Structure 1
Amino acid sequence: MRGKTHLAIGVAIGAGAAVYFSPDLTHAHTYIGAAAFSALAADLDGTSMLSGKLTKASRQIRQYAVWVGCICAAAVLYLWLAGHTVRLEIACAGISAMLIGLTMSTGAIRNALVSLVGIGVAALGLSRGEWWLIGVGVFIAWAPWLNHRGLTHTLWMIPLWWWLGTGLEQDLQVEGLAITAALGYLSHLAADTLTPSGVKWLYPLTKFTFRIKV
């Protein structure tokens, strides 16, 4: 399924979570960001479905995303070196933007760049003593080298992603982020199940491909 479809589903889940958990929409951007990123995260593996024939608009989005991510990363690095407190929201926004841009390109260089971002996230988590952030970093660094629709597209990733979400929820003190992130990730697998290629939900226990014709 197309990346923009996964993204749209993630945004819808985030918006619904914002209305449910925060009726005043104070944290709407946090819910939408967590769900949108989660809905795309599974496709950090192998050759992303976002890396096919890019339209002019998607190429521009990729360029903007990478540049925004680089600017945010530079700002975070400057603040850290200057001894200032680095806001987690800024770091997450920059990382998310950069990863969205990078998932739209292919090859070993792309994989290495994504892994480098993952190592940076893990290092940030280590410096903050936050295991969930280390886990996200390890996932980002490891996923690009896996076959597409392999381990990142399995049932086992849902509880893992929920656990990572609980760390973010506790860190930001925003109720419902864990379930929002898990639902975002789950939506990706469910949507891909509706495509002809299907999803190996129980891999590596079985290579049986689950698919639903619509």
Structure 2
Amino acid sequence: MKGTTHLAIGIAIGAVTAAQYPFSPKSTSLYLAVSAFSALSADLDGPSMLSSKISKLSRSLRNFLLWSGFIATSILIYQYFSLGVFYPEYTAASLALFMLGLLTSEGMLRNTLISGIGGGFIYAALLWQMPWLLGLGVFIAIAPWLKHRGMTHTVWAVIAWGLIGQGLEQQLQLPGMMTAATLGYLSHLIADTLTPSGVKWLYPIYKKPFKLP
């Protein structure tokens, strides 16, 4: 399944989730960002369909995401060290943009950069005692080195991602965040189940892929 399709589904899930609660620009943007990122996160596991046969438009979008995330993150880091001002939500959003750009790349450098971001999340989680962020950091650090459509494309990964979403919901006191995260991730696996390769939902207990016509 194409990455653009996963992204569109994730955005749609975020929009539906946001519609269930009182509107505010901040909460709506968070629902959309979490569901969209969740819908693509299963493909953090090494080279994927996102990184093959990239069109000129897709390559431009990738470069835009990479540079936007990099510049925004750099500005936020500068503010933290020079002014002592830190914006955790904006920093996380900037890093998410950067990782979305990396999703369309491949190779050891790409995997190392993503793992480095995961390591940064782990450090921040230990520093600020955020269990959900620790789980996210571990996922991001490990996923790039896994076989594509392996452990990240299982029911176990959906459960783990749901727990991360639950922790984020409790942190932000924003109801529906767990739902947006879980449904976003789940949509990726369901969509991939519709492809000829299918998905090994119960891997490694049951190694045959499930497919739908």
Give TM class, smaller chain: over 0.9
Report SS of the residue matched to 1:82. helix
Aligned to 1:71: 71
1:77 to partner: Cα distance: 1.7
2:174 aligns to what? 174
Distance 1:40 1:156 in 2: 16
Quick check: 129-138 or 180-189, which moved more? 129-138
* Letter paired with 1:78: Y
Task: Write the distance in 2 (CA, Å) between the matches of 1:88 and 1:72.
Answer: 12
Structure 2 residue identity aligned to 1:178:
M
* SS at structure 1 position matched to 2:155: coil
Most deviating of 10-19 and 61-70: 61-70
Gaps of at least 5 residues in structure 1 are: none
1:37 alignment partner in structure 2: 37
Q: CA deviation at 1:123?
A: 1.3
Write the mapping of 1:15-30 to structure 2, written as runs, cut at 5 A: 15-23=15-23, 27-30=27-30
TM-score (norm 2): 0.95
Q: Which position in structure 1 is the counterpart of 2:62?
A: 62
Give the match for residue 105 of structure 1: 105
Q: Answer yes or no: is the 8 Å Cα contact 1:22–1:28 preserved in 2.
A: no
- Which residue of 1 is the match for residue 50 of structure 2? 50
Identity across the alignment (%): 48
Q: CA deviation at 1:80?
A: 2.6
The SS at the match of 1:210 is coil
Is the contact between residue 153 and residue 199 of structure 1 (CA under 8 Å) also seen in structure 2? yes
Moved more, 87-96 or 99-108: 87-96
Q: State the AA in 2 paired with 1:124.
A: A
Q: Distance in 2 between matches of 1:67 and 1:35?
A: 22
Which whole-Å CA distance do the structure 2 matches of 1:22 and 1:207 have between them?
Answer: 43
| Equivalent residue number for residue 204 of structure 1 | 204
Query: Which 4+ runs in 1 deviate beyond 6 A?
Result: none
Distance 2:48 2:123 in 1: 25
Amino acid in structure 2 at the alignment position of 1:58: S
1:121 aligns with 2:157: no
Deviation at 1:83, TM superposition (A): 5.8
Alpha-carbon offset, residue 56 of structure 1: 0.8
The CA distance in 2 between the partners of 1:158 and 1:22, in whole Å, is: 27
Deviations 1:29-60 (A, max 9, x none): 11011000000000000212110011111111
Shift in Å at residue 6 of structure 1? 0.1
Q: 1:165–1:181: 8 Å Cα contact kept in structure 2?
A: yes
Q: CA deviation at 1:22?
A: 2.9
Deviates more, 1:147-156 or 1:59-68: 59-68
With normalisation by structure 1, the TM-score equals 0.95
- Aligned-pair distance for 1:173? 1.8
Task: Find the aligned partners of 1:87 and 1:175 in 2 and give their Cα distance.
Answer: 21
Write the distance in 1 (CA, Å) between the matches of 2:123 and 2:26: 30
Residue aligned with 2:105, SS: coil
